[in-house]
Structures are given as structure tokens and as C-alpha cells.
Chain A
Amino acid sequence: MGATAEHNHAHGHDSHGHAHHHEESFVSKYIFSQDHKMISKQFLITAIFMGIIAVMLSIFFRLQLGWPGESFGILNFFLGDKWAPDGVLNGNAYLAMVTIHGTIMVFFVLTGGLSGTFANLLIPLQIGARDMASGFLNMLSFWFFLASSIIMVASLFVEGGAASGGWTVYPPLSALPQAMPGSGTGMTLWLLSMVLFVASSLLGGLNYIVTIVNLRTKGMKMTRMPLTMWALLVTAILGVLSFPVLVSAVVLLLMDRGFGTAFYLSDIFIEGQALDVTGGSPLLYQHLFWFLGHPEVYIVLLPALGISSEVISTNARKPIFGYKAMVGSILAIGFLSFIVWGHHMYVTGMNPFIGSVFVFTTLLIAIPSAVKAFNYITTLWQGNIRFTPAMLFSIGLVSTFVTGGLTGIILADSALDVNVHDTYFVVAHFHIVMGMSAIFGMLAGVYHWFPKMFGRMMNTKLGYAHFWLTLICGYGVFFPMHFVGMAGAPRRYYSYSEFEFLDWVMDLNPIISTFAIVGGAAQILFLFNFFHSIFYGQVSVQNPWGSNTLEWTTPVKHVHGNWPGAIPEVHRWAYDYSNPEHEEDFVPQVVPLKTGEHGH
């Protein structure tokens, strides 16, 4: 891998005018870069923009839910007379916002954004490689991601509006343009965007797997890898095995929409017309979708768990408790996640016996998850905890992972799911366990590795304010939703005023919405801190957190090929924090074992 020394100046000071003089290097350095560190920044910044859009959408529809029918100038300002006449969101726009919010959050922020950023940044750096196995595929992966992001956002502006059938886009609703306005052009764009997105994920995923398996430096045995590497490896494997199934589901749906096939359609009468298609089954789509969909939630979650393992161990100045058990539970969760998809289908009319099998497999996942939670907590026990913003977010992650995971036990139980399926209880569950946990993990990662990415430090005090506001508002939004759901309030409802039996819980809605608005606004602290620190943050030292892993042995200023000299050799595991045999409270992986010292 060619290490070209002229690329090693600091980032951020290159202005457009300056770049003009040596255009080629600007383009190949910042735009069509094949360097994993630059690609990781490209992913992160794209994901941040997508995240801003998704949060704004959620605030738009939370305004409607909190104060149904009330007029908000801001809605009219952003959405215009078509979607928000007189400042009131209309029903179709509501469903489109919810759908695109969910799609962007799950796929663009927490799959493309989270894996794309941290797999790219950390894999070569933590295993001791000069770059990804294929820089070119890596670059393509980003460009597919960007193209699919642009198409997804553009779909908000087409005639008829964006896809509106929920992020799961179940046919026949999504297959028939006459079923709702969002099933027209908006839906076609949604499907095209997803195809590109999957292409991006596959290119990235294959690259991550190959790199981890083949390019580890001398001494970096699999069993010495930091847990981030294990998490990212299993995530990539899940993606490579399950995303192709999503593509097939999507392609069949495109055919049903455009070419008169009937994979998912049968016996339909709509808009005054009996359709010509028979023999398909809408349930086929659900099986295909959730075969990806469930692993997908772990694709979102595992990188966050990997990041927090790293951050918690470093900042508790203690080895992660039960390294082997942690690896084992990542593997177990990864494996089990492929055989539980049916828990999304208990009330579809699927054979109840098959339902029983899925109850069993799903509840098994609780065991490795519990092991992980207890191991985190034991890592904190008798530690020496340094509260960096990254550490705060990681502690927050453990809390949301536990709180949200517990309600999963109820949803996994088919007999109980019958009454809470598709209610706000589900919305509460997945936002806490997947949404909050993964976002916390991602933010922890940004705060922790910002010095590695940009060579500067983020502001700690702003980080503190950001964390506490986000934690309080996050729980403030999603915890009450459990009760709204248990009282029988369905999700994807534009308004609840039609149901008298729900009136008494609906006074929670303005409270939830208020938390959502404050929590959304609190993200400005982060955005400011992030962009300000890129240019003006304190210049970082080489190893600011006193960390053991290899990425902190590279120079602060990025060089192509990561290490100016030879790639260091690894002699020990990543978790020798406060090892009594050493003076310092950390022992980097490159330090050879003392004579007589037992390595892990």
C-alpha cells in the first residue's frame, strides 16, 4: 500500500481557493479519497446531515401528536401549503414524515453512518493495517451511500410525497400506487435508494471482513483484538448475509409495482377495480423483510456495544470484565439474530406453532444480552472512573440497553405481543434499546475518537451539557410511551382524538413532545461543538485518553498508510489497565511482556 508523504498535512485548513492550485490532490484527497480515515469522515458528516433531517422530521410529527390540529407556523414554513396548510400537518404528510424518519434513522444514520464511520476509521488502525483491503471498493461504498442518501431525501419532494407505508413498507399498501399517494413515485425512489444502500453496505461489509481476517499485524491474534473489532466483524458478517435478502424483497416488490407480477399480491379490489393479479402472498414479503430486519437491529446495536466496551474499559481504567464472555455473547447474539425474525409476525396469521418456535429462539437472546450488561457493570465496579463525555454516553448506553432490552421480553412472548403489537409500547421499546443505545454509542465514539479523526479535542463542558440533556430528554420522550402503548394506542396514527378510551393517557403526549423538542434542540450543542472543534479545538496529543489500542500509536497528523515507519508489533491484549505488575495504569498493546508476566 503506497504511503505518500505529501498527503500528511493537517485537515481543515484547505480552502477552495487554495485547492485550486493543485486541484488533483484536492479531489483525490477530499472527494474521491481512498484513504480509510477520510472515507470515515465522509460517512460521519453525511450521517450527521441525515440525522439532522430525521430529527427535524420527528419534531414535525411530534408537534402534531402533542397538539393535534393546532397551527404551527414552523410547519408551514418548512413544509409549505401542500403538506401543512395553515400550519397543520395533513394526514398523508404525517405518514410520510414518520416513514422517512424511521428509514433515515435506522439505515442512514445507524447503519451506514455508524458502521461506515467507525469500521472505516478503526479497523485498519486497531488491527495494525495500512489501509482497508480494497481502498477502491471502500470509496465506492461511500459513493453508493451518498447517492442513496440523496435519493431518499429527494423523495420527500416528489409529487404525492415520500413513501408513507412505514419504514417496513409492507405490500400491498406499498405495491399499489392507488392505495395511498406515498405509494407512487415516492415509493419507487425509496426502493431504488434501498438498492443502492445495500450495494454500499455489501461493498463496505466485505471489505471490513477481509481486512480484519487478513491484515492483522504481527501478534494481533483474534483473541487479542479489541472488542470493537469483534463487534464490527460480526456486524459486517450479519450485513453481508442478510442485506441480499432485503434486495430480493425489494426487487420483487419493484416487479410487482412495475411489471405486473404477483409475488405479494392476490385477490385485491381497490379503487373500484378488481386487480388482475392472483396467487401471491403479502406474508412472503414480511418473511423476507424481517429476515434482514431483525439482524438489522443488531447491525445497528453491535457497533455501539463494541464502542462502549472500549470506552468504558479505558475510562474506568480497568480491563473489560469477561473478555471471552463478551466475545462469546457477540457471536451468540449474531447467530441467534438470524432465527428470530418471526417475532415480528405473531399476529399475521402465521401458524401458531411456528410462532412458538420463535418465542423460544427470541427469548434465548436475553441470555447473552444479560451477560453483556452484567459484564459492563462489573467493569465499573471498583474502577477509577474518568467522566469524559464519551464515558458518560457509554454509561447511558448501558442503561438504555438494559431498560429497552427488558421490554423486549414482553414483546417476544407471543401471547403478550398480541395485545401490544404495533402499539406505542413497541415504539418505546425499540427507540430505547436500539435508537437511544445506538445513538449513545455513536456519540460516545465521536467524542472518544474525535482527536484521532481531526487531530483536535472537542469541548468537554459542552459535551457534559449535551449528555445530560440528551439522556433526560431521551428517557422523557420514550419512557412514557410504554404506558401510552399499554393503554392500547396504536402506532402510525395521525391523531388519537377519535378514541375516547385513550383520552386519559393522551395528556402524556404534550409532555413527550416537549421533551422531544428540547432534546432535539440540545443537539445544537453537539453540532456546534463538533464543527467548531474541527477548526478551533485544542490540538490533540498523541494518546489523550491513556489508551492501550494501536490507533493511539499513530501520529496526530494523518499519514497515508497510518504509521510513518514500520507497523508496530502487538504483544498483549488491549485491556491491561491498572495491571498491578506495571507502574502506569495503562500498558499499550505494543509493550512487550515483562519476563515472567502472563499475557492474556
Chain B
Amino acid sequence: MKLLILLVGVLAIIAIAQLTKVYELTRSMRKTREEDISPADNKLQANLMLVWMFLFFAGVIYLYSAYGDYLPEAASVHGAQVDSLMSINIWMITIVFFIVNFLLFYFSYKYYFRKDRKARFFAHDNRLEMIWTLVPGVTMAFIIVYGLITWNNMTGPASADAIQIEVYSKQFGWIVRYPGDNKTFGSATYNLIDPSTNPLGMVTRENIQEKVDAIDEQIESLKKEIEANAKLPIWPDSYLESQQEKLYRLSRDKQRILDLNETKNPTTGLSEWEAGADDKIINTEMHVPVGKEVEFIFRSQDVIHSAYMPHFRAQMNTVPGVPTRFKMTPTITTAEMRNKLGNDEFDYILLCNKVCGVSHYNMKIKVIVEDEKDYIAWLEKQKTYVAPAEKEESSPTTDSTTVTTIVVPNNKVVAENK
């Protein structure tokens, strides 16, 4: 097979070479020069311009008719606005596309070189130039205004009763978190992440203690080693330095974790650690109610990802260290959409749209839009982060507030509530 491809390639080149030779021979016999384009050649190229134009336009029209319905009707309120903005834009650029390409190829065809004519000496014309500065100017003004109105609608602040959902990305998958009955997310920090038990880095009193204990243990053993070495120096200096560096890091990690203090939210009376106990964390699918505004809060564990939901015309990057937001109101339930499309298998999907590593192409989570009561019923069934029985122990209501309250630095908070 390889040989065959190689052979075809070599033969093709030889063929070109032979043809060129023949051509060059006839050229030298007829004494023609390469830069003198013969009338026949000029005519041929002119005709090809026209032929090409028709083929090109036919191809474009075919693509529009076969693939023009790019996505099903938008399944969100802002999505419908985006779609009408889009269709106006597409109409406009399509018309300009046809007109300008037509003029280009038609003029190329019509004005091919003939010896007996001379081109028209036409160097400028202020009126014409004014027209094609002003017309695009006015058109752009219209597009800008219409576009920005839509943009402002979709990016304005979410309403106070919007449902908040955290969408969390990591190599390679999505995790969603619902705030639970208290409607408040607990805090989380990357320092406490454990990929198998606590992928979000949720903060509770237990896992802080666990983490601190673990660090203490490491510090102890490191210290012992260093002391032993001080008595009987066997390590090279460089190794000693690296051990000391490690020690320093561990104590810094510990301090960071100890810095995470409980603050009470004045309206709910809950600390952010307590708030997290009833959070619900799910990594198989995301449910959202139809007709209610949803505000997504995005976080990322490792690199930048992008949460893209094409059916809702929604997208936002997830950035490590910088929470981002996007709000939308779904309008069509999964069941209705299945009906419309005549496809029982159809599901909305959230997919990763920022290259993030080898499985980027396969990083997705199903999105289910349903009636509010189904949504509530589904949410009820989901496990809380801390099982209710433990919850009692871990957050005795009032007397736990003896801890000094220090405001948690912003970048460690999952989502400050407005």
C-alpha cells in the first residue's frame, strides 16, 4: 500500500516533468514568451471565472439548504434572542457575500484583455468612496446596537430568586453541586481536594481536622529526620535544603488551612461550613427546571475548560482561581424537545469547549430539563454531602461560633452570595 502511494506520487511528478518538457519545447519552437498571455488563454481564464462562480454559488446554496438548520430551536429565553440576531446577521452577510463575489468574478470575466481596447483610467471618485464608507458604517451601527442590546440582556445580573448551580470542571469530567435546602453553598478550597472522596474540596470541620492531622504527621517525621541528621550529618547539603523547603511548604499549607475560618452569614445565620453540609454533589447528570432562571457558577480544578451548551446558546469558560458565571432560563423540557425532534434518544448536553488535554473531546455531562416538580422530586432524592445523622454532630447550632471569625479570602470562596 505504502509502495503504491509512493509509486503514484513519483509517477505524477514524472508526468508533470514530461509535460513541462514538451511544453517548453513547443514554446521555444514558437518563440513565445511566458509573460505574453495568449488571447486564447485570457479568454479561457475569463470563462473559467464565470464557470467557477456558478459552481461556487451552487455549492454554497446546497450547503445552506442541506445544513442551514444548524441546531434545533434554542431552548432558552436568551437563546431565542440570540437566534433572531443570528438570522438577521446571516441574511445580511449572505446577501453581501453573493453581491460582492458576483461583482468580482463577473468583472474578471467581462474585462479580460483584448489588444484593441484600453482600460479606463479611473483613479478615484470621492462620491463612490463616500458611499461605500457610509453604507457599511450605518450597517455596522445597526448591528452593534442590536447586538449589544442582546448582550446586555444575557449578561445582566441574575434575579434574586434564580436557582444557583455550581458547575465544576476537572480533567476530564464535570461535577455539579446544588446548594441544598438552605439555598447556600458551603465553602470549598483546592487545598482540601481529595480526588476520590472530596473532589470539590468542600470545607467541613472534620476534613479540616483530618487534613491538619495528616500534615502534622508529615511535619513530625520530617523534623525527626532533620534532627537525626543534625546529630550525625550524612545528607548532602542540597538534600537537606530540599527537606527544609518541604518542611516550610507543609507548614505553609497547614497555615492556609487553619486560616479557613467560619464566618456566619448574617441572613441565614449559618456558617459557610455548615451551609455545605446539605449541598448535593452529582457527577452523572445535571437537572434544571424549565421556566426558572438558573445561574451557573463555574469553577475549575486544574486547567481552563469551557462549559458549552449549544442547545441553549450558552457558553462560559471555567478558570482555576477565578469563579465565572452565566445565567439562563430554559424554555423547552427534554421531553418536549424529544417530541419536536422525533428522537426518543435526544438529550441536551454540556461539553468541554476549551482544549484541556487528551480527553478534551470526550468531556461531557448530560443536561435534563424538566418541570419544576419533577426537578424538586429528583433533587430530594439526591444524597447530601454530609449524611444527615452526622450533620447533627458536626454542626451543633449555636455554640460552635466561639471560633474567631476571619473573613475568608475571596478566591477561596466557592460563591459569595449577593
Contact = CB atoms under 8 A, between A and B. Distances in A.
Contact of A267 (B121, B298, B320): B320
Contacts of A37: none
A359 interface: yes
A388 B100 contact: no
B391 to A, nearest CB: 26
Given A377-B103, A416-B85, A349 B319 contact: yes
B42 A492 contact: no
A505 B133 CA distance: 38
A348 B319 contact: yes
Contacts of A179: 171, 302-303, 356-357
A486 B87 CA distance: 12
A151 interface: no
A538 B27 contact: yes
A225 B166 CA distance: 59
A281 B321 contact: yes
Given A399-B104, A459-B23, A274 B35 contact: no
B121 A318 contact: yes
Range for the number of chain B residues in contact with chain A: 35 or more
Contacts of B379: none
B263 interface: no
Contacts of A410: 86, 89-90, 93
Contacts of A500: 345-346
A462 B34 CA distance: 11
A382 B82 contact: no
Given A179-B302, A475-B56, A402 B104 contact: yes
Given A74-B2, A378-B122, A479-B60, A528 B349 contact: no
Contact of B360 (A409, A464, A493, A529): A493
A398 B106 CA distance: 13
A403 B362 contact: no
Given A267-B321, A373-B100, A461-B23, A385 B108 contact: yes
Interface string B128-139: 110011001100
Contacts of B316: 347, 349
A286 to B, nearest CB: 9
B124 interface: yes
A281 B122 contact: no
B304 A384 contact: no
A296 to B, nearest CB: 19
A384 to B, nearest CB: 4
Given A321-B123, A416-B85, A356 B303 contact: no
Task: Determine which residue in B112, B121, B190, B352 has the highest number of CB atoms from chain A within 10 A of its CB, and name it.
Answer: B121
Contact of A575 (B107, B123, B154): B123
A532 B362 CA distance: 47
A487 B5 CA distance: 35
Contact of B310 (A270, A359, A419): A419
A10 B391 CA distance: 89
Interface string B334-354: 000000000001100101111
Main secondary structure on B side of the interface with A: helix
B59 interface: yes
B171 A267 contact: no
Contacts of A319: 121-123
Interface in A523-545: 524-525, 528-529, 532, 536-538, 541, 544-545
Given A269-B193, A325-B129, A91 B321 contact: no
Interface in A430-471: 451, 457-462, 464, 468, 471
Interface stretch (A132-140, A164-172, A197-205): A164-172
Contact of B314 (A274, A418, A464, A494): A418
A321 B124 contact: yes
A498 B13 CA distance: 41
B411 A266 contact: yes
B100 A377 contact: yes
A494 B321 CA distance: 28
A382 B249 contact: no
A386 B191 CA distance: 70
B37 interface: yes
A387 B113 contact: yes
B136 A282 contact: no
Interface stretch (A28-36, A298-306, A362-370): A362-370
A367 B313 CA distance: 28
Interface stretch (B143-151, B175-183, B228-236, B380-388): B143-151
Interface stretch (A208-216, A334-342, A558-566, A577-585): A577-585
Interface stretch (B45-53, B271-279, B281-289): B45-53
Contacts of A524: 9, 12-13, 16
Task: Determine which residue in A267, A274, A472, A493 has the highest number of CB atoms from chain B within 10 A of its CB, and name it.
Answer: A267
Contacts of A409: 89, 92-93, 143
Given A318-B119, A380-B104, A460-B34, A266 B355 contact: no
A49 interface: no
Interface stretch (B63-71, B219-227, B393-401): B63-71
A26 interface: no
A377 B201 contact: no
Interface in A369-414: 370-371, 373-378, 380-388, 392, 395, 398-399, 402-403, 406-407, 409-410, 413-414
A525 B16 contact: yes
Contacts of A392: 45
Nearest to B141: A363
Range for the number of chain A residues in contact with chain B: 35 or more
A348 B45 CA distance: 48
Interface in A250-286: 265-270, 272, 274, 276, 278-283
B407 interface: no
Given A479-B59, A600-B123, A414 B71 contact: no
Interface in B292-326: 298, 301-304, 306, 308, 310-311, 313-317, 319-322, 324-325
Contacts of B29: none
B378 interface: no
B70 A483 contact: yes
Contact of A381 (B2, B90, B111): B111
Contact of B37 (A359, A387, A406, A422): A387
A363 to B, nearest CB: 5
B238 interface: no
A541 B33 CA distance: 9
A501 B349 contact: yes
Contacts of B317: 347-349
A538 B34 contact: yes
B120 interface: yes
A487 B310 CA distance: 8
A180 interface: yes
A91 B411 CA distance: 34
B107 A377 contact: yes
B371 interface: no
B2 A77 contact: yes
B207 interface: no
Interface in B2-18: 2, 5, 9, 12-13, 16-17
A323 B122 CA distance: 11
Contacts of A386: 37, 42, 113
B20 interface: yes
Contacts of B358: 91-92, 95, 180-181, 494
What 4 A-B pairs have minimum CB-CB distances, sorted nearest first? A266-B321, A488-B310, A349-B324, A486-B70
Given A413-B85, A499-B349, 15 more contacts: A91-B359, A179-B357, A268-B301, A363-B140, A371-B129, A374-B100, A376-B104, A413-B89, A415-B150, A490-B352, A490-B353, A493-B361, A537-B34, A538-B27, A578-B120
30 contacts: A73-B2, A73-B5, A176-B302, A179-B303, A267-B190, A274-B190, A281-B322, A283-B319, A316-B119, A324-B124, A348-B324, A360-B144, A360-B148, A377-B100, A387-B112, A399-B105, A406-B97, A410-B89, A415-B85, A416-B82, A462-B20, A464-B45, A482-B63, A483-B70, A486-B67, A488-B308, A492-B355, A494-B360, A498-B361, A578-B118
